[in-house]
Each structure stands twice: as structure tokens, then as C-alpha cells.
Chain A
């Protein structure tokens, strides 16, 4: 059974059925992971009692497989009466998993802002929260744009993990075609090409954002 190009083209519409969910899950998970990651980093900086707890959480998130976390949420939450649609569990799972990594991006981005900036803010009598929100965070954005963009593509590529909890997305659509036709090469190829296209679009958007932020002022 050789690769059949005509067949590959023919199944594109069927594989595309899942692309909406892939994009939706990808975008919402990226937003969720970014918000959670920022929260972890803020908590880590808040005080010395909270820091070790959050650090342990972040290490734990990063040291367990995404699949384990997704299965865990999917099968364990219902025991506590929380029954959510699979797609929500999936979005939360990916958000949670990537928040561990993204908190490290925030950490590095904040540390790259010169110490004199927060010293100036604190010496004016701003509290720590305002110092972060109005002085450090805006300057940090420029430092984190590139690594955050890389994770946005990473998250997009991880959406097929949600096939295990039956979230209908692009890889799932490709599998449906495969099990109907007993041909795997073409559906997987098409799914791969479509993921590549999505990643290229995401990379383009990230690049545009980076250039915009690059125009922001620098000191000295």
C-alpha cells in the first residue's frame, strides 16, 4: 500500500473537522497556562512561607507527564462531584501542565529587568505589587515574548494528547478517517501538514508581537 496523494487531498475536509477544537483548545490552554504561570511566579515572590510550597507545586507539575495529569483530572474530579465536559478538563489539564514551565519563563523575564528599576519604584514608596505590575511587568513582556511564543506552539502541538479523554480534535479526526479506511499514512500526513501550518501562523504572530515590543523604550 503506497502513499496515495489523491486520497490524501480527498480526506482533507474530514481531518479539518477537528481543527476548530484544536485551535480553541490551543488558545484557551495558552491563556490559562500564562495566567496560572504568572500566578505561580507572583506567589513564589510573595513571601518566604508561600515560596517553598509553590516551588514544590511547580516542580511537581514539571516532573509528571502531561498525560498522567490529564487522566488524573478526568478520572478523579468526578469522585469529588466535579463533572466537567471533556474539553474543559482538557483545557484545564494543558493549562496546568504548561503553567509550570511558563512560571519559569516569567521568573527569568523578571530577573532580566535591572535591579535598579524595582529599587527606584520601591524607593518612591510603591508597594511590591505595584512595583511588579507597573514597573517590572511591562519591561518583562519584552523578555518573555520569544519563549512564551515557543510555548504557545508547544501547547498547540500537545492538543492531540486530549484524544485520550475523547476530546474531538484534529488528530482524532485523522484517526476516524484511518479507522474507516484502514489507511494511516495519508490521514497522519494531512494532520501533520495542518499542524505545521498552524504552527507557522502562530510563529508569524509571535514574531510580529516581538517586533512591536522591541520598539518599546530601553534605558540608557
Chain B
């Protein structure tokens, strides 16, 4: 019993050290409970710099909880999460600094309704990065152009369509020049005809080499863009593979069943 344990620990340490140098995000044995419900069950996942990861799985499988742990919108109860070399702990100092490096796009956009599109983008630049107004506006306009919505800069979020709002949300996150982007079902709240404009922006971002973790059910996007697809069920990672293998020849019955329902 004892030797086996030691061996396992050595392996973990090696894995960690190897991973730290190249990893954008390191997740190790992470568990999380909501009351008595276990949302994450010893999840370990490693995302390299520049990697595009897609996480899919049925609702309640813990995929959103997992990426919300990466910027600590949810705290994990067990295990280790390292983002850009900083280990995340509940109530840690410097969490805001880490978050500035991790952009997040939400299912419900979460734009600030009382601010114009431009001010949505510049708020954090000015308050958190202390960049003067003119310079912040310039950065924001640059990012808004990148998501093809610069002409709406003076409007308020409620005046835009869902797809436009989500593109603004992406621009807002990009303004902080994040090293990692998290997407939490970015197209799930959109009307079908608006999904493409958002996916196009995400694809362009991926092609530029952004490190991305996307929770999404857009399998076309996953096939085209992802380096790796992760399938989660009941709080655990069931399968991870390159998209070709994942879609072409999945190993687990649960994955096959899920894909069958999705592609039906």
C-alpha cells in the first residue's frame, strides 16, 4: 500500500512541475460542493498557453462551475488551481490582479445596463488599470472594431441585439488584454440567427493564438477550433480527446450517448 502511494505522489509532483512552466491553467484534484450536492469531483485538467479547450456535457455536469473556479467566481473546496503561475485560494490577496488576466464571457452577457457600450469597455481600464480616459477610449474602440461593432459605441446595451451585446461583452473582456479567455455558454441565450456572428468572433480570436476555455454545445465550433474536447458528467471528466477522435470515435458510452442526442 505504502510504496504505491509514494509513487503516485511523485508522479503528481512531476506532472505539476512540468505543467507549471507551460500551463496557462492548472487544475488538480478540484472538488466542490453546493451544500450536499457535489458539483465537482476531483477534477484535474491542464490547459497549455495558446491551447483552445472546449468543455461539453449535460446540464448539471459541473462544466460552468469548473470554469467559474478558474477566476474564483466560485471557490473550490479541495484541490489546487494555478492560473498564470498564481495559486488561487479563497479570500486571497491579489485576486483582482489575477482576474485582470482572465477574461470571462457569460451566457447572459452581463453588460452594465446603465453604461454606454464604450463605457462598458473602459470602466475596468480606468478603474483597475488606471488608464486615462482618452487612452482607455482608444483601446476600447480598437477592441470594438475587432468585434465589428465600433459604430454602436455610443449606444446602450438595451438598444442592441443579443448577438451584438455578446460581441460587446467579448470586446469588454479583451480590453483588459487577458492571457486567458473563459467562455461560459456564450451562444446559449442567443436566437439561432445570431449564433454565427458570435462564433465567428470567437474563431478569429482562437486563430490569433488566444488561450481559450469554452463551455459550449456548438459542436461545429469545437470541431473547427478546439485543440482538445473535454466531456464532463456528474462533476467529473469522463473523456478528453482531440476533436477528430472525440467526435469520430469516442471511447465512453456516456459520451456516445451525449453526442448522439446532440447531433440528432
Contact = CB atoms under 8 A, between A and B. Distances in A.
B243 interface: no
B128 A124 contact: yes
Nearest to A129: B127
B127 A130 contact: yes
Interface in A164-219: 216-219
Contacts of B73: 119, 122-123
Interface string A101-130: 000000000000010110111111111001
B99 A125 contact: yes
Contact of B157 (A116, A123, A219): A219
A219 B96 contact: no
B140 to A, nearest CB: 12
B179 interface: no
Contacts of B71: 123
Contacts of A219: 109-111, 113, 157-158
Interface in B102-132: 102-104, 106, 108-114, 123-124, 127-129
Consensus secondary structure, chain A interface: helix
A217 B115 CA distance: 8
Please tell me the size bucket of the interface on A.
Answer: 20 to 34
B99 A122 contact: yes
A20 interface: no
Contacts, number: 81
B156 interface: yes
Given A126-B127, A134-B127, A218 B110 contact: no
B173 interface: yes
A52 interface: no
A127 B100 CA distance: 10
Contacts of B101: 125
Interface string B28-40: 0000000000000
B106 A124 contact: no
A135 interface: yes
Which residue, of B101, B108, B112, has the highest number of chain A Cβ atoms within 10 A?
Answer: B112
A64 B156 CA distance: 46
A127 B129 CA distance: 11
A138 interface: yes
A125 B156 contact: no
Contacts of A220: 108-109, 158
A216 B110 CA distance: 16
Contacts of A216: 113-114
Nearest to B116: A217
Nearest to A135: B112
Contacts of B2: none
B96 to A, nearest CB: 5
Interface string B123-147: 1100111000000000000000000
Given A119-B73, A217-B157, A217-B158, A138 B99 contact: no
A95 interface: no
Contact of A125 (B106, B108, B128, B169): B128
Contact of A126 (B108, B110, B124, B157): B124
A139 interface: yes
Contacts of A122: 73, 96, 99
Interface string B53-95: 0000000000000000001010000000000000000000000
Interface string A133-146: 01100110000000
A125 B110 contact: no
Contacts of B129: 125
The 6 closest A-B pairs by CB, nearest first: A125-B100, A124-B124, A120-B110, A116-B110, A219-B113, A123-B104
Interface of A: 114, 116-117, 119-127, 130, 134-135, 138-139, 216-220
